[in-house]
Amino acid sequence: MERMRLELSAFDKCVSRATEVLSSGGIVLYPTDTLYGLGADAFSDEAVDKVYEIKGRDEKKPTHCIVADTEMAEKYAEVTADARLLFERLLPGGLTIILKKKAGVEGGIARGIATIGIRIPKNEFCLQLARAFGKPFTATSANLAGREHERNVDSILEQLSHSSISRPTEQSFGRVQKTRIDLIIDAGELPASPPSTVVDLSGEEPMILREGVIPSADIWNAIRDTRDN
């Protein structure tokens, strides 16, 4: 397990190394504009399975992805008029938009489902990594399923070391992390923040599945403007 401090002088090296790890099917622990996340090639079955294993997450529960911009989102999702306005007004930011996936988008987070969750965080590291990697990577919080979100790397690693899947022993902390998380991008203690707001635009009517850092009212106001114009 490799650990790099995210500082201005090392920013490009962090992006480059994280790109290498994602490209080789590895897992990156990285900071976003809300929480630390677990990053993997979003359309690799093997890489996404590692993320589910780390989190002890139900494989039937969807995982979303980070893209660099609207243009990248359009390669994988059917971007509706409502979605386009939310992209323009509220992104980059703490919003995840669920859309119908495009035909031919399969594997990884797209296995067995008709939708894809898109995130464009207000975080330069995430955006630069998406550009360098050239395709989406997973955007799921770095915590065990059902457990609280920790805001610094050491607390996250401590929590993840107790995964029931890993069968922890006296030596489990180091072993589990070395075999599952390949690279840590450490940005220090993140400020307290709710997770991203999740809005589902894949059906006939919008649905807010989770209210997070962006208030629901902002979502509804933007959608109302779209339909009034």
Q: Is residue 60 very low, low, confident or very high in pLDDT (cuts 50, 70, 90)?
A: confident
Q: Which pLDDT score is estimated for 229?
A: 63
**Is the pLDDT at 228 greater than 90, yes or no?**
no
* CA–CA dist 43, 105 (Å, integer): 8
Cross-strand bridge partners of residue 39? 28
Q: Which pLDDT score is estimated for 146?
A: 86
For residue 53, what are the contacts with CB-CB under 8 A and spacing of at least 6? 163, 165, 180
Q: Which pLDDT score is estimated for 163?
A: 59
Of 216, 196, 208, which is closest to residue 120 (Cα–Cα)?
A: 196
CATH number of 2-228: 3.90.870.10
Contact assessment for residue 22 and residue 48, using Cβ atoms and an 8 Å cutoff: no
* CA–CA dist 200, 74 (Å, integer): 16
Report the predicted TM-score, pTM, of the whole model to 2 decimal places. 0.90
Q: Which pLDDT score is estimated for 227?
A: 67
Q: What is the pLDDT of residues 36-45, one digit of tens each?
A: 999 999 999 9
- The side-by-side arrangement of strands in the sheet containing 64-66 is 2-5, 183-186, 28-31, 36-39, 137-141, 64-66, 115-119, 95-100, 197-200, 207-210
* CA–CA dist 3, 21 (Å, integer): 12
* CA–CA dist 48, 26 (Å, integer): 10
User: What does the pLDDT average to over 117-132?
Assistant: 98
User: What does the pLDDT average to over 169-182?
Assistant: 54
Q: What is the pLDDT of residues 73-104, one digit of tens each?
A: 999 999 999 999 999 999 999 999 999 999 99
Of 180, 177, 128, 175, which is closest to residue 153 (Cα–Cα)?
A: 177
* CA–CA dist 79, 212 (Å, integer): 22
Q: What is the pLDDT of residues 179-221, one digit of tens each?
A: 489 999 999 999 999 999 999 999 999 999 999 999 999 999 9
Contact assessment for residue 197 and residue 118, using Cβ atoms and an 8 Å cutoff: no
Burial of 171 (0-12, 13-18, 19+ CB in 10 A): exposed
Question: In the chain, what percentage of residues exceed pLDDT 90?
Answer: 82
Q: Which two tokens stand for residue 171?
A: 């030596």
Of 45-49, 64-68, 145-149, 208-212, minimum mean pLDDT range: 145-149
